[in-house]
Structures are given as C-alpha cells and as structure tokens.
Amino acid sequence: MKRTLVAVPALLTALVLSAIAINRGEAVNSLWLITAAGCCYAIGYRLYAAWITANVLVTDRTRATPAERLDNGRDFVPTPRWVVFGHHFAAIAGPGPLIGPTLAAQFGYLPGTLWILIGSVLGGCVQDMVVLFASTRRNGRTLGQMARDELGPIGGAAALIGTFAIMIILIAVLALVVVNAMKHSPWATSTVFATIPIAILIGTYMRGIRPGRVAEASLIGIALLLVAVAGGGWLDHQPLLRAAFDFDGVSLAWFVIGYGFLAAVLPVWVLLAPRDYLSTFLKLGTVLVLVIAIIATHPTLKMPPLTRFIDGTGPIFAGKLFPFVFITIACGAISGFHSLIASGTTPKLIRNESDIRLIGYGSMALESLVAIMAMIAATLLDPGVFFAMNSPLAALGGSPDAVVTTLTNLGFPVSVDQMQALAQQVGEHTLFARTGGAPSLAVGMASILSGVFGAGLLAMWYHFAIMFEAVFILTTLDAGTRVGRFMLQDLLQHIWAPLGRTSWYPSVIVSSALVVSGWGYFLYVGVIDPLGGINILWPLFGIANQMLAGIALAIVSAILMKTGKFKYVWVTALPLAWIAVVTTTAAYQKIFSTNPKIGFLAGANDLYAKALAHTLPPDKLAAADHLIFNQRLDAFLAGFFLVILWAVIIDMLHTGWNVWRRHPLQTSLEAPYQRSQLPESAHG
Amino acid sequence: MVKNTPDASNPSLRGVAFAAVRLGQIVRDVCAGAAGTNAYAHYQAHQQAHHPDMPVLPKDVFFREQLTARWHGVCRCC
C-alpha cells in the first residue's frame, strides 16, 4: 500500500515533467503545473521528509513535548495536529507567495516554477520543519534565543538585527504594492478603506457583544466585505463620490503611513485581531476556490517557458535569471521569515513530535502550492498585457503608445485598445504600469474565477482579488509594525528602562513612530520614483528574506552538528550553501554592478551625472535628491545584510570545527527526555 | 474532544457513513480549534485539573489576555 502511494506520484511526476518538457514551443496547460506540483510535494513529504524525521531529527513519539510538560491552558496547549496545521499555515501564508511569482514571471513560467518546486521540497519545507523541531526540543525557544544558545552572542545579535531589518523592508514593499493597486482607482480605494470600519465593527462585536464568538463574527465580516466590493462598484459610477476616492500615490502613501501608526498604537482587539480573522478565513476560502477553479477551467499558459528577459534586460526588474529569480521568489520556495513562526507560537502547541512533519513540512508545501497558483494566474494572461501592466511607463518609453510599440517589437504583441477594453471590463481607469504585481494577479485570478462563477462578473472578481490582497497586506503591515515596536522597545530599555514598558503610552508612541517612519521612508521614496520603486525594493526584500533563511539554516546546521548528526548536516547545509551563493551574488550585483538599472551605486551615480547635465525628465529631477540618497542607502543595506549572513555562517563553521575536534566540549541545550503521558492520538 | 468515535474500519456502507461523520467531526474540531473558540473550555478544564484552588478567569478577561499575548511576538508572515 505504502509503495503504491509513493510510486503513483513518482510516475505521474515523471510523466508530467516530460509532458512539460516535450511541449516546449507550444502552449502548456496549467493542469500540468498543478499536477507536477502536487506530485512533487507528495514525494517530498512521503520520502524525503519521512527520511529526515526518522534518521536525522529522530523524532520520538514517546517523548513529552513542551505543550504537554508546560501545559498552562493558555500558550502551551497540546493541540490536535490538524488544528496546529491550520494555525501554522494561516501564520506563514501571507501576500509574499502571491507577489514574488508574479514578478518572476517576466523570465517565463519555467524558471520560477522549477525554483518554487525544488526550492520548497529541498529547502523551504526542510527549513521550516527542522526549525520547528529544534524549537520544540528547546521548550519553544525563539530563533534569536536559539542563535544565542547554540552559536553565541554574534549569532544572537545577527538574528535580532536581521529580523528587525527584514521587517522594515517587508512592510515598505508590501505597503507600496497596496498603494500602487489603489492609485487613481476609486473602486479599489473605497473597498480597501471600507475594510477598516468593518474590522473595527467585528472587533467590537467579538469583544463587547458576543465575546469569543469568532466564527459567527467572521461570517458577518466576510459578508460585509463582499458588500464593500459591490458597493465600490456602485460608487465608481457616482461622479462626486468617485472624485472623493481618487487619490495619487503620495496621498495614499501618507494614508497608509498614518494608518500603520494608528494600528500599531491601538489595542489589538480594535483592528488587528478582527481583521486577521477575516483575512485568515478569506485566505483559506480563496485558496480552495482557486484550486477548484483552476482544475475546472484548466487555462492554457500563454507565457513562453523562457522569455528573452533572462538576459537581464527585463522591464519589471533588471538582472539576469541567475541569481535574480531566486531572490524575487522567496516566499513560496524558501522564506526565512517562516523560521520566526516555526520558533514562535507553533512549537508550544505541538502535541506529539510525530506531528512535526505534517505541520512543518506540510504547511510549507501548501504555501508553495499557493505560489504555483500565483504563477499560473500571471502566465495565463497575454504576455503583452502582463508586461504592459507590470512595467513602469518610464522603463518602456514613457507613454502607453510607446510601451505598446516597444513590447510589440520585443515579440509581446499588445495594443492600446486591448488594454483599454480590459481596463473597462475590470472597472479600472487604466491598466498600464500598474506595478507591484497585485493588479495583474487580480486580473489573472478574476479571469480564472469568472470562468467558473459568472463571466459577466470580471470587475467584481478583480476588485474582490484586490481587496483580498489588501486585507493580507494590511494585516502584515500592522502585525509587523507592532512586532518592530516591541523589538525596538526591548532595545531601547537598555538606554532608559521606562522605554521598555510595552503599555506605557509615551514609549509606545515614540517607538511606533520610529518604526513607522522607518518603513514610511522607503514607501515614500518608492512612490515618488518614476520607475515605481518595486524594482528597487523587492530585490532588497528578497535579499533580506534569504539572509534570514541563511541565518536559520546556519543555526539548525550547528544544532545538528552539536547533537551528533554530523554526517547528516548536509540536509540543512546544502540549502544553506545555495542560499549563501544566491544571496551573495545578488547582493554583490545590486551593490557593485556597473549597469545603473541593476547596481544601486551605479544607479545613484548615473542619476547624479544626469542631474548635473540637466538631462533628467522633470518628474525624475524633482525626486533626484531622494532617489540618489535612497539608492546609496539601499547599497549600504544590501552590504549590511551580506555581512550579517556571513558572520553567522562563519560562526556556524567555527562551531562545526570545534565539534569536529571535540574541543572545547560542545553541548546543545535540549530539554531532557520525559515520557509522554498523553494518549497516543486524539485525532487522525 | 470527539465523542463516540465511530468505527471507521468497517468497509460496509455503514462504515462509509461513519467515516463521513468522523470527517465532519474532525472538520468541526479543526475549525473550532483554529478559530480558538474552544480555548476557554480548555483553559477551564486545565484549571480544574491542575489548579483547583486558583480562581478561574472570566471568559471576556481570558479572551482579552489571549489576544494580547498572541500578538506580542511574530505571528504573521509575509
């Protein structure tokens, strides 16, 4: 029985991958991609993950987990495994796996898809599972604490600084995506704004009217959100209201900055927690509906497997296939951020060590499937439309006519009329240069969903998809700002103790303002950049996220070596080596490349020279000061991330060397064995 | 948490029906667990079993504390 369970997906994968390979030159159906992905995960889960848990981690079902030993009925609670799976998946799956693959589709569907599959099965899923295991064996200690325990003060500090930096960049880039999706779109803006009072209403309901009635409140909330999407459509036809919700990028950026500050200062029950419930249910529902819709409509991919832009001349972001596809798709393949979740709440809920494979490896496989669906949504569009939507105007000639001509000449035919007709269908003013990935993903999702649930509803589905992404992003934005604030307060209390008090309002306001101005700055510069800012910020985010993945893999590699698993250390060391190569190459190119489109320093110098020679277009000249400073700052940050990553890697190698020589004696701080008293399994 | 778990190993039609009921129970429990609706009941049970002498927090205070504690660390990802 077990053998057939492995053999079937194995044969199917072989068949599917050969179909994709043989089909080169003609259109490939999305069903092949979904099947290949499903089979890859099945093999990875049944063979590789099972082998790792049995031989490398040696999970022990008789050993009591911290949830059992430290059960306090609150944060340490032994929980059925499917419930923990739901918790964990909801926590790790955010907007990242939707946006990265959309941007990386400029290389064609093949590179991104292969990286999502291979990266997750051998890298991302393994990272999540091993970190989860390490933390479970250490009473649910966080990544930062494990770094300090196992590597020393350098590792600990690096993990802390890395987490803080990635938070700032992540929030900035996500906020930029939302701003770009709302820019001059009254329908999208009014819908996204409406999510805020809806969340407050639901928060009040859950706290004051019927405490703890989460499911009931969330259902009401989701119904209201759907009403908000439809209401936005109505509002779009009222000239006065339409004008009231028509904002430019800078005003929207200020809105988001102000909103982020408020959300971080207000108590969680007001806005953050209720919106999080809404977005979790929306997320699970939409993922399910999308899978069904893709299988039902099985659209054909119109994007070629590889495009000419693998040479680095892409209009969405500059840089060659290697290393940039591996940086652009972080979430969905391997995401360092997950290691913070896997060493946070989740290990305190694990009922039995044998659940770790499902929760750590399985959740990440599912997130990877979300990334595959985003890739399908991006590549089923006409390539011409896809590029016209995602490229900044300035990158392809400056006006819609020039963009259309350039793209058609490059072999991606598209016309202004076609773009206009599509814009009209989805209820938008224009679809040119809607950078950030959200609008093109929304068009892709809308065309999949309207294929199953009503072709006339394209505009509704489009704005539903925009609202869906915005709700995710705003949750990450609030939660991230709040965590950034706690980390900052933790740091500031060394300067003056009262600053560390998390409920003392002066300290709360000061630290929140500092965090918000950190990401607000990058958001603002991104908005005033005529090239859209995404092309600068997204690679920086990718580098930061992969740096964190490198840190996490280095910590668990050290743990494996210290616990006597020297011969198996390649399980985490190989992904680490790949991450180190990719991140180092990408960061080096982003800093030192002489191509001003890729290198931050070259970009700054190019702008400076052009500003002196008065050859800059007026919109760029106005922002030149900010842009030059920002590119230099980004170069510094990229270098800084690289230094942190290598500091941790060297620390890990040093630890490994000491283990090898058995001097000084290396010990790992695992909690001692205690026999589990819980019945074998409460749930399947 | 699941009461009268039916025997799903019986391959007859009855067995299939039982399996379906069991699946429904799992889905319900997973939803309740993921939404945290049964957290208070669990807490009450825990207090009774381990700290019978300690006062039990009222429901609204418990949920308030849960919420604050939950959002104190990194709990949402990109």
Q: Do A212 and B65 touch (CB under 8 A)?
A: no
Q: What is the pLDDT of residue A594?
A: 96
Say whether residue B49 is in contact with chain A using an 8 A CB cutoff: no
Q: Mean pLDDT throughout A553-576?
A: 95
Q: Which residues pair with A63 in a beta bridge?
A: A675
The predicted-structure confidence for A651-660, as pLDDT tens digits, reads as follows 999 999 998 9
**Rg of chain A over CA atoms, in angstroms?**
24
The DSSP code for A79 is B
Label residue A665 by pLDDT band (50, 70, 90).
low
Chains A and B form CB pairs within 8 A to the count of 131
- Is residue A666 in a domain? no
Residue-number span of the structural domain to which A526 is assigned: 59-75+89-136+144-184+247-294+319-661
pLDDT digits (tens, 9 = 90+) for A380-434: 999 999 999 999 998 898 899 999 999 999 999 999 999 999 999 999 999 999 9
Q: Inform me whether the pLDDT recorded for A6 exceeds 80.
A: no
Whether A170 maps to a domain, the answer reads yes
B68 touches chain A (CB under 8 A): yes
pLDDT grade for A22, boundaries at 50, 70 and 90 = low
With an 8 Å Cβ cutoff, is B41 touching chain A? no
Domain membership of residue A224 (yes or no) is no
Q: What is the pLDDT of residues A240-278, one digit of tens each?
A: 999 999 999 999 999 999 999 998 888 888 888 888 888
Distances (CA, A) of A678 to A61, A68, A73, A274, A682: 10, 8, 15, 33, 9
Residue percentage of chain A with pLDDT more than 90: 71
Q: Quote the number of domains for chain A.
A: 1
pLDDT of residue A264: 85
Q: Which residues of chain A neighbour B59 with C-beta distances below 8 Å?
A: 211-212
Segment B48-71 shows an average pLDDT of 82
Contact A74 B65 (CB under 8 A): yes
Contact A269, A206 (CB under 8 A): yes
> Which of A81, A82, A284 to mutate to probe the B interface, most B CBs <10 Å?
A82
| Chain B contact set for A101 (CB, 8 A) | none
From A142's Cα to the closest Cα of chain B, the distance in A is: 10
Least confident range from A80-94, A162-176, A221-235, A661-675: namely A661-675
CB A682 to CB B40 under 8 A? no
pLDDT at A1 over 80: no
Exposure string of A134-149, with b = 16+ CB inside 10 Å and e = fewer, is bbbbbbbbbbbbbbbb
Query: Cβ contact (<8 Å) for B33 and A344?
Result: no
Q: Kindly state whether residue A253 falls inside one of the protein's structural domains.
A: yes
- Kindly report, residue by residue over A188-245, the tens digit of the pLDDT: 999 999 999 999 999 899 888 887 677 788 889 999 999 999 999 999 999 999 999 9
> What's the gap in Å between the CA of A160 and the closest CA on chain B?
12
The minimum CA-CA distance between A585 and chain B, rounded to whole Å, is: 23
Enumerate the β-bridge partners of residue A28.
Answer: A301
- Measured between CB atoms, which of B22, B29, B78 is closest to A170? B78
Is B71 in Cβ contact with A273 (below 8 Å)?
A: yes
With an 8 Å Cβ cutoff, are B77 and A73 in contact? no
pLDDT single digits (tens) A641-653:
999 999 999 999 9
Q: Which two tokens stand for residue A619?
A: 């919109």
Beta strands in A4-106, from DSSP E residues, in sequence order: 28-29
Please list every residue in chain B whose beta carbon sits closer than 8 Å to the beta carbon of residue A335: 77-78
Nearest CA-CA distance, residue A336 and chain B, Å: 10
Closest residue, chain A, to B77 (C-alpha): A92
Q: Which residue did the predictor score with more confidence, A624 or B15?
A: A624
Average pLDDT of the segment spanning A553-559: 96
User: What are the extents of the domains in chain B?
Assistant: 1-37, 38-78
Q: Classify residue A237 by burial, with Cβ atoms within 10 Å: 0-12, 13-18, 19+.
A: exposed
Asked if A272 and B59 come within 8 Å (Cβ–Cβ), the reply is no
Among all chains, which residue has been given the structure tokens 């992905």? A37
Q: What is the mean pLDDT of residues A309-314?
A: 95
Looking at residue A214, its pLDDT comes to: 77
Higher local confidence (pLDDT), A20 or A123: A123
Candidates A252, A301, A254; CA nearest to A25 is A301
Backbone angles phi, psi at A619, to 5 degrees: -65, -30
CA angle A344, A438, A595 (to 5 degrees): 95
The whole model's pTM is what?
Answer: 0.92
- What pLDDT does residue A684 have? 43
* Best of B40, B61, B76 to mutate (most A CBs within 10 Å, chain A): B76
What mean pLDDT comes out for the span B40-55?
Answer: 85
CA–CA gap between residue B49 and residue A97 (Å, rounded): 43
Task: Tell me what pLDDT residue B11 has.
Answer: 62
**Is the CB of residue B72 less than 8 Å away from at least one CB of chain A?**
yes
- Least confident among A15-19, A352-356, A469-473, A561-565: A15-19
Measure the CA–CA gap between A521 and A623, rounded to whole angstroms.
13
List A79's β-bridge partners, or say none: A350
A582 conformational bin, left if phi > 0, alpha if psi -120 to 50, beta if neither: alpha
User: Which residue of chain B comes nearest to A476, CA vs CA?
Assistant: B76
pLDDT at A681 over 60: no
The verdict on a CB contact (< 8 Å) between B68 and A476 is: no
Question: The tokens of B68 are what?
Answer: 């604050």
Mean pLDDT taken over chain A = 91
Q: How deeply is A455 buried, as exposed, middle or buried, from its count of CB atoms within 10 A (0-12, 13-18, 19+)?
A: exposed
Report if residue A305 sits inside a domain: no
The region of weakest confidence among A173-182, A303-312, A468-477, B28-37 is B28-37
Chain B neighbors of A488, CB-CB under 8 A: none
Write b or e for each residue in A64-90: b if 16 or more Cβ atoms lie within 10 A of its Cβ, otherwise e: bbbbbeebebbbbbbbbbbbbbbbbbb
The beta-carbon neighbor of A479 closest among B26, B64, B76 is: B76
Least confident of A71-80, A493-502, A577-586, B66-75: B66-75
Q: Is 60 exceeded by the pLDDT of residue B6?
A: no
* Integer angstrom CA distances of residue B1 from A64, A73, B31, B33: 20, 15, 13, 11
Window from A186-190, A315-319, A385-389, A529-533 with minimum mean pLDDT: A529-533
Disruptive mutation site among B5, B67, B74 for chain A (greatest number of A CBs within 10 Å): B74
pLDDT in tens, A47-60: 999 999 999 999 99
Q: Is residue A235 part of a domain?
A: no
pLDDT tens digits for range A337-351? 999 999 988 999 999
Domain annotation covers residue A636: yes
Side-chain half-sphere CA neighbours of A8 within 13 A: 7
The stretch A109-131 carries a mean pLDDT of: 97
Q: Percent of chain A, pLDDT > 70?
A: 95
- Is B76 touching A (CB cutoff 8 A)? yes
The domain that holds A444 is classified in CATH as 1.20.1740
B:1-20 residues touching chain A, CB 8 A cutoff:
1-2
Q: For residue A236, what pLDDT is reported?
A: 92
Chosen for mutation from B27, B28, B60, B77 (greatest number of chain A CBs closer than 10 Å) is B77
| Helix boundaries (H) for A298-437 | 321-328, 338-342, 356, 363-379, 383-390, 400-409, 416-425
Average pLDDT over residues A322-340: 94
CB A333 within 8 A of CB B66: no
Query: Which residues of chain B have a CB within 8 Å of the CB of A547?
Result: none
pLDDT at B18: 86
